[in-house]
Amino acid sequence: MTTIVNAKILTLDDSNPYIDNGYIIIDNGVIVDIGSGSPSKMEGEIIDAKNKYVMPGLINGHHHAYSSFARGSMFVADKYSNNFVEVLENVWWRLDKALTLESVKYSAYVMFIESIRNGVTTVLDHHASPYAAAGSLFAMREAADDVGIRSCLCYEVSDRDGDAILKEGIKENVDYINHCKKNNPEYGSGMFGMHASFTLSQKAMEECVSANSSTGAGYHVHVAEDIRDQYDCMKKYGKRLGQRLFDLGILKPNTVIGHGTYSSDHELEMYKEADITMLHNPESNMGNAVGVVNVNYLAKKGIRVGIGTDGYTSDILESIKVANVLLKHTAVDVNVGWPEIPDMLYKNNREVVNRTMGIKAGILEKGAMGDIIFMNYTPFTPLHADNYMAHILFGMTGRAVSTVIIGGKVIMKDFEIVAFDDKEIAAKSREVAQKIWDKIK
C-alpha cells in the first residue's frame, strides 16, 4: 500500500478536477481512495508530496523505440532525401535492418527511461527490426518490465523485405498478443502492427487479417502519413486507404491509425462509423515535411484523435504544445485547438489505453491505475479547477516531472531514478548503439 499526502491533485476527472490539498491511497497497484485533507488511516509507504501538483501518468499513443539509436548518428545525414519515402529508405529502413535483439532491447530501455523522466507511464510502440523480428517484442517487454513502465507493443509487418520476414513479423505479433493475455496484461499488451499500405501487398494484408482473426486484438498501422501512400493505394487498388482498410475488416474500435494526414471526408466518415482512433504526431509530421493534420476539423467530424510522438521525442507535453501552435499557425486562427488539443492527450489517449490494454489510466479516481506524477511547478498566476488545463498546456513541461509512480511503485523520486540503475543502462546502450552504427552502410 502507498499513501500520498499533502498533494495538490489535478485528477483529470471532469466531475472533480482539482483537489487543493488532498491524498491518494494505492493498493495492489490501483487507487482505492482519493480525497481532500488527510486520510483517516495512513498505511504502507507514506509519500509527502510537499504541496507539489500531482497528476495522472501521461500516455504516449504512438512511438518508435528503435529510433533512439538514430540520435547523433552520422548515417542520418550521409544521403540526401527529396521526400518522405526517401527519408524512410535513407534513414529508418537502414537502421531497422541493422538491429539485433540486443539493440532492440537497449533502444527500448532508453526510450522507456526517457519516457519516465518526462512523466509518461504508458507507451504504445510500433516496432520494426526485419532481421531480428522473432523475439523482438518479447525483448522490449523485458525492458519495459525491468523499468516498471506499461507498454502496448506491436511489430510493424511489411513485405518490403521479402516473404520470409513478412511471416516472421506476423508470427511475432500473434505470439506476443497471446503471451500478454496470460502475463500481467495490465502492464503489457499487444496489438497487430502493420507498417503502411504502400509496403503491404493485398496478399500480405490478407495474411495479416487471417492471422489476427483469433486474437481479438486491434491493429496499429500508419495511414496516409504522406500523400504518396494515398497515390500508391489508388494506383494499385483503385480505392483510397480508408476503403482498403474497411474492406479488409481492419477498422474496428480497438484499432488505431497513425497520422491520417491525407484523409478524405468519406474516409473520415468510415473512421467515425468504425469508432477507431487516429493518432496525431505533430513534431514528426513537421520534421518529415509531410503535412499537417487538421485536428479541429477532425474533432468537428466526430473523429477521436489521440496524440503520439512517432519516435521524435518522448516528451508528450512538448508535443501537445507544438500541436497547439501548429494548428493555430496553419489555420491562421488563434481560436482553434481548445479543447481539442488537451483532449487528445488527457481524454482520447486514455480511451485508447482502455480499449487496447483494458485498463483505466490517465485519470486519478477510485479504480484507476496508481500511475502518478509530481510536477515541480510553481504557478505565478492563480491555478484552480477552471483553468488548470491552461496551466498544463502553457506552463508545465516534461522536464518539470520530479517523481513518477507506476502501479504504486516509486520509479523516480526528486528527479532521480530509484527503481534501477539508469546510468548503467545508458553506458551499455552507447556501446550497443556504436555496434549498430558500424553495421550501417
- Write out pLDDT tens, residues 67-83: 999 998 877 777 888 88
- Write out pLDDT tens, residues 310-341: 999 999 999 999 999 999 999 898 888 888 89
Interval 436-441 mean pLDDT:
88
Q: How many CB atoms lie within 10 A of CB 431?
A: 10
- Whether residue 356 contacts residue 152, with contact meaning beta carbons closer than 8 Å, is answered with yes
Residue 390 CB contacts under 8 Å (≥ 6 apart), including other chains: none
* pLDDT bucket at 29, cuts 50 / 70 / 90: very high
The span from the CA of 127 to the CA of 253, in Å, is 22
The span from the CA of 188 to the CA of 169, in Å, is 18
pLDDT computed for residue 234 by the predictor: 96
Residue 206 carries which DSSP code? H
Residue 20 scores a pLDDT above 90? yes
Interval 426-437 mean pLDDT:
95
The span from the CA of 130 to the CA of 133, in Å, is 5
pLDDT computed for residue 432 by the predictor: 96
pLDDT computed for residue 74 by the predictor: 77
pLDDT computed for residue 191 by the predictor: 98
Residue 213 carries which DSSP code? T
* pLDDT bucket at 41, cuts 50 / 70 / 90: confident
Q: How many CB atoms lie within 10 A of CB 330?
A: 13
Residue 255 scores a pLDDT above 80? yes
- Write out pLDDT tens, residues 191-226: 999 999 999 999 999 999 999 999 999 999 999 999
Amino acid at 150: R
pLDDT computed for residue 430 by the predictor: 96
Q: What percent of the chain has pLDDT over 90?
A: 87
* pLDDT bucket at 264, cuts 50 / 70 / 90: very high
The span from the CA of 161 to the CA of 297, in Å, is 37
Which of the following CATH numbers is that of domain 2-57+361-417: 3.40.50.1820, 2.60.120.200, 2.30.40.10, 3.20.20.70? 2.30.40.10
Residue 441 scores a pLDDT above 90? no
- Residue 286 CB burial class (10 angstroms; 0-12, 13-18, ≥19): middle
Amino acid at 127: H
Does the structural domain 58-357 have CATH classification 3.20.20.140? yes
Which of 138-142, 169-173, 209-213, 335-339 is the least confident region? 335-339
pLDDT computed for residue 93 by the predictor: 85
Residue 165 scores a pLDDT above 90? yes
Residue 43 scores a pLDDT above 90? no
- Write out pLDDT tens, residues 375-416: 999 999 999 999 999 999 999 999 999 999 999 999 999 999
To the nearest whole number, what is the mean pLDDT of the chain? 95
Residue 92 scores a pLDDT above 90? no
Q: Give me the phi and psi of 326, to 5 degrees please.
A: -65, -45
Q: How many CB atoms lie within 10 A of CB 71?
A: 9
Would you say how long the chain is, in residues?
441
Listed by start position, the domains of the chain span 2-57+361-417, 58-357
* pLDDT bucket at 98, cuts 50 / 70 / 90: very high
- Write out pLDDT tens, residues 219-228: 999 999 999 9
